[in-house]
Every structure is written in structure tokens, then in C-alpha cells.
Amino acid sequence: MTIVPLSADHAEALVAFFRDLPDGDRTFIREDVSDPATVHAWAAEPAGGSRWVAVPGTGEDGGVCGYVAVLPLSGWSDHVGEVRLVVAPAARGTGLGRDLARHALVQAVEAGLRKLVVEVVPGQGPALTLFTALGFTGEALLRDQIRDRDGELRDLMVLAHHVGDTWSGMTAVGVADALDEPAG
């Protein structure tokens, strides 16, 4: 897999990617990704923005297997970025999610962000394991914070990664260089 910036060339493939996700997966995506206009608006953002897709090989065939975004917050939280990550069911367990999360972490550091947060629904064990392995720790549990597609209230966990605290130690032992390697 190759991780590339989201562009207009990937818009239709990303629409198909989100359309093909199981309903349960789309439940926990904040935006209405079933609306192609949402995805097309993302793809129209300036190149080198804050959204990337995982595509096979060079990406010439247009398929999308994963999506990651680092969305900087505004105002007094402009040092914080929110990570959003989705992997196609067929690509789960292959390391693609880890590669996308690492890519997001490196991009966030390069963008000067000092803290990253990710929201995880309890019960999403693989996502929790993935992010904690990358240095994210629990910061909050918000009870009855979201409503699933059946109208049931669900808790939401907020995990945080304090980039400045962790990155210097990672650099000292060479992990930062390893994270910067292209995903493959």
C-alpha cells in the first residue's frame, strides 16, 4: 500500500470506500460519509492538506483501502489535532491501520502540532490497541456521548498523544526515523 495525500483523483474511490463499509463502521464516523458531497469537499481541499488515503501500489487503479486525517483544532486549541482513521474490512489485521496512524503522527509533528487526540468507542479493541501502542493514553471517558444508528447512547473514549513529551525520546532511540519510512 502507498499512502498519498487525498486529491480530487481519489474522490470517487473514497466515496465507494465509505459506501462499502459495514453500517456499524459508518455509525462512528462523525461526518456523513454517505453523502458524496462531503467526500468531494475534502478532496477539493488544497494539496498537501490534512487527509490521506491508502491505495494499492502507485494508486493508479483508483482503489482506496484506508483513510486517515489529522484535523487541527482552532482557537486556543490550535496546537491540537484530531486523528480520524478508517481501514477497509478486508485490509484489517494487515498493519495498514498502524501504517496510517504512524503516517498521521509524523505529519502532525511536521505540521507543528503538540498534541493529538482520537475518539474511540469502547468495544473497538483493535483501535484501542493500535493507538495505545503508538503512545496514546486515555484522557477522558464521555458517558452517553454519541448515538449509534439504532438510537442507542454510547460512551466515547478520548485518547491523547502528547507529541512533544514523546517525540524527543523516540528520536533519541531512532524510532522517529523508522516512523518516517514509507508505508509498504
pLDDT by 10s per residue, the chain, length 184: 899 999 999 999 999 999 999 887 877 788 888 889 999 999 888 765 799 999 987 545 558 999 999 999 999 999 999 999 999 999 999 999 999 999 999 999 888 999 999 999 888 888 999 999 999 999 999 999 988 878 889 999 999 999 876 655 555 445 556 555 544 4
How many Å separate Cα 157 from the centre of its chain?
Answer: 15
Residue percentage of the chain with pLDDT more than 70: 85
Answer whether CATH 3.40.630.30 is correct for domain 2-179: yes
Query: What CA–CA distance (Å, rounded) separates 94 from 169?
Result: 27
Per-residue cell: 8: 480530487
Looking at the chain, the number of H-run helices and the number of E-run strands are 7, 7
Query: What CA–CA distance (Å, rounded) separates 56 from 91?
Result: 11
pLDDT in tens, 114-141: 999 999 988 888 899 999 999 999 999 9
